[in-house]
Chain A
């Protein structure tokens, strides 16, 4: 029974001590501890929020970057295709022009050759005529020493010429 009987002295000291401890802790210790814990919690939750937002932003940027890259690639492909086409066309045109030029040149050359050939032929004919005349002169001088003979020969030539 002695164990179950409260002792007024101990009750008094416990009350006093407990109330003083409560007051001291509430006044001097707990405010700064609780404030620090609250600040830390809030900071952590803000930081998490920030991190989440940053991650979303990064994702957004990533998408944007991919889109830009895709666009750039498409444009490059288009430019390349166009360039290739242009190159082919230029080559073709150049080839065609060259062919035309060559053909024209060849025609001109051929014409020149033909003309020169004709000229050469004329000159040759002239030269042959001249030579023929000179030869004929000499032959005639030789042959026309005798009158009769002369006549005959002339007639022969004349006949021949008429036949020509």
Chain B
């Protein structure tokens, strides 16, 4: 409980600092840019924002962790620190060209660093292939470090103690591993093949779950919206697609491409549908995870923003209470989405690897 109180104090604290900044910059309109705030929090960034505060000299201090920027241009990689883009208005030289960071995207510019837009406001400057370790990538590395630490220490303990009932951390890990193995893999994938997919499903489950959890921690090492990022979910969906189709049985392909037992004219409708279905299944996985996690982040941010929209402290208890409820819900959603993603993947794998006709 103390932990949650600390989380909320920090959350409210960090937002209040930002609201000062926002209101002082948007003083003419006197309004609070909720959409900007929300978008800033759910999109990726090239630096890891920790804290903003005003020091005793009245200067704004932005406490951030600079992250490496890796750009691919003119056939080679360029490495920078993100500090060079955030804390200067000068464009950075990139071979014969110059590059600026605008709304977390890199654009090639002239030496003066101007961004050109067309009549509809779209930026016409060429963008650069960006392989930076962004906030999301750093957060992903953190999750991988956590997962590896969890599993490798558990594996070492299993090798050492083996038969003994699990203690400490293993007692938490083991039921989840058993759950994935028995209730996801073995329940959905028939026969001997189930155990072959268990490592994949366990990896998917923990990768999504741990990243969801990191995403709902509101302060420094967390808070990134990685599992609510379409790139992340799309990658996992492609992995699921490969897992489903690379190990497809003969009868699965026959079923997909010939639709046996169906009158011949109907096959012209059914076979394209089946082929589309191959792609819609992982596509649905991608959208589901993305939408659930992003929506959770947006709701919590909006609830907190109510305080600054209404500019009233009296609304704060309600905001905090509602976002507490949302946080609890998000904890559930974090594990639920990991479960649904791995369960549906297992289900589709089971459908594609089974030998029997449907």
Contact = CB atoms under 8 A, between A and B. Distances in A.
A40 to B, nearest CB: 6
A10 B231 contact: yes
Nearest to B130: A9
A23 B151 CA distance: 13
B131 A12 contact: yes
Interface string A4-32: 11111111111101101110111011111
A45 interface: no
Given A3-B42, A21-B203, A11 B133 contact: no
Interface in A28-43: 28-37, 39-40, 43
Interface residues of A, number: 35
A154 to B, nearest CB: 146
A3 B43 contact: yes
Given A2-B43, A3-B43, A18 B207 contact: yes
A37 B199 contact: no
Interface stretch (B5-13, B153-161, B315-323): B153-161
B41 to A, nearest CB: 12
A146 to B, nearest CB: 153
A5 B233 CA distance: 12
Does more than half of chain B's interface fall in helix, strand or loop, or is it mixed?
helix
A15 B235 contact: yes
Given A29-B152, A36-B158, A11 B163 contact: no
Nearest to B154: A33
Interface stretch (B55-63, B141-149, B338-346): B141-149
Contacts of A17: 137, 140-141, 144
A96 to B, nearest CB: 81
Contact of B137 (A13, A24, A35): A13
A29 B155 contact: yes
Nearest to B177: A33
B198 interface: yes
A29 B151 contact: yes
B129 interface: yes
A26 B136 CA distance: 24
Contact of B163 (A3, A6, A10, A39): A39
B207 A7 contact: no
Nearest to A24: B148
A7 B140 CA distance: 15
Which of A4, A18, A22 has the most B CB atoms < 10 Å from its CB? A18
Interface of A: 2-15, 17-18, 20-22, 24-26, 28-37, 39-40, 43
List the 5 closest pairs (A to B, CB-CB), nearest first. Answer: A29-B151, A10-B231, A36-B158, A14-B235, A26-B199
